Amino acid sequence: MQTELVQLLEGQNGLTKAVIDNEFARCEVYLHGAHVTSFTPKGGDDLLWLSKTAIFDRAKAIRGGIPLCWPWFGAHPTDSTKAAHGFARVSLWQVISVQTTELGATELILGLKASEKTRKLWPNEFELQYKITVAQMLSVELTTINIGKEPIQITEALHSYLALGDIVKARIRGLSGVCYSDKVDDSKVIEQVGDIVVKQEVDRVYMNTQDSCLLIDDVLMRTINISKLGSLDTVVWNPWAVKACSMADVHDNGHQTMVCIEAANVLDNVITIAAGERHTISQSISL
């Protein structure tokens, strides 16, 4: 490993974080959850939102950044005692490699393998590789490898929390004409018309879309481009004031400066991976 490319430091509450600081950007990644908590292009502000009251605890997911929802998204499909969004975001990942690409980007690969602990939650044999590429753009790429003898099925999301100036003044472009399942309205299916403007709780799965989104922010005077591959759904989430108040790890009025735009495969788009095969979902975030 080329240790000069990445520093392993003690982060909040003693958890280890990998810090990449290259000519393009600075990025922080906790090994707990393989959780990217910050991506700040040089001379600019963080593109990711991190709650000021985020809890850094080995048993909990960090509120903000990019949690990995895997191998199930949302509630477990059959067992309500299992934690929402799976266990990848609360597992300790290992550093596999770090290198500089031909274009000068820093590429960090983290890994997670099936263990006694994961088999109790999910009986399948797997390997996960998570590639984080830091350039002018942040790219994250999660590969699931089925190393077992049976097919496996997953749902998943790269649950990115994006920072913005003022939620009611921001617009999300790119999903007009796409139908969404509205989790705050009994999963009613509604077609999106025009840009999304968030003025209340929003929890939607935009179904069967592979398109990029733009987060247009006239307050911070920037537009974030969010593109993806290997993802058939886009989740848009903001808990809004009442729900955010009930969450200990969202700071006061924190919902006003964030929105989640998540590359996902959920609902009908369950991914089946045959024995020996792999599947990759990725998302890129840039100005």
Cβ proximity to ligand BG6, 11 vs 239, nearer residue: 239
Marked catalytic residue, from 32, 159, 255, 279: 159
The distance of closest approach from Cβ of residue 175 to ligand BG6 in the complex, given in angstroms and rounded to an integer, is: 15
Marked catalytic residue, from 107, 141, 156, 262: 262
Written as six digits, the tokens of 120 are: 């109790």
Cβ proximity to ligand BG6, 6 vs 89, nearer residue: 89
Q: Tell me the C-alpha to C-alpha distance, in Å, between residue 154 and each of 73, 77, 79, 271, 272.
A: 8, 11, 15, 5, 7
The distance of closest approach from Cβ of residue 166 to ligand BG6 in the complex, given in angstroms and rounded to an integer, is: 21
16-21/7-10 β-pairing: antiparallel
Binding stretches for ligand BG6 (CB under 6 A): 61, 74, 84-85, 159, 183, 203, 235, 237, 262
The distance of closest approach from Cβ of residue 235 to ligand BG6 in the complex, given in angstroms and rounded to an integer, is: 5
Q: How far apart are CA 122 and CA 71, in angstroms?
A: 8
Helix (H) or strand (E) holding 217: strand 213-217
Q: How far apart are CA 66 and CA 159, in angstroms?
A: 5
The distance of closest approach from Cβ of residue 89 to ligand BG6 in the complex, given in angstroms and rounded to an integer, is: 8
Q: How far apart are CA 227 and CA 232, in angstroms?
A: 12
The distance of closest approach from Cβ of residue 118 to ligand BG6 in the complex, given in angstroms and rounded to an integer, is: 18
156-158/258-265 β-pairing: antiparallel
Cβ proximity to ligand BG6, 24 vs 180, nearer residue: 180
Cβ proximity to ligand BG6, 18 vs 235, nearer residue: 235
Name the residue type at position 5.
L
Task: Note if 262 is an active site residue.
Answer: yes
Cβ proximity to ligand BG6, 105 vs 158, nearer residue: 158
CA nearest neighbour of 195 among 254, 259, 256? 259
- Which residue's entry shows tokens 């903001």? 238
Coil, helix or strand for 70? strand
Is the omega angle on the peptide bond into residue 71 within 30 degrees of 0, that is, cis?
A: yes
Cβ proximity to ligand BG6, 11 vs 67, nearer residue: 67
The distance of closest approach from Cβ of residue 51 to ligand BG6 in the complex, given in angstroms and rounded to an integer, is: 11
- CB burial of 196-228 (b: ≥16 within 10 Å; e: otherwise) equals bebeebbbbbbbebeeebbbebeebebebebbb
Catalytic residue ranges: 159, 262
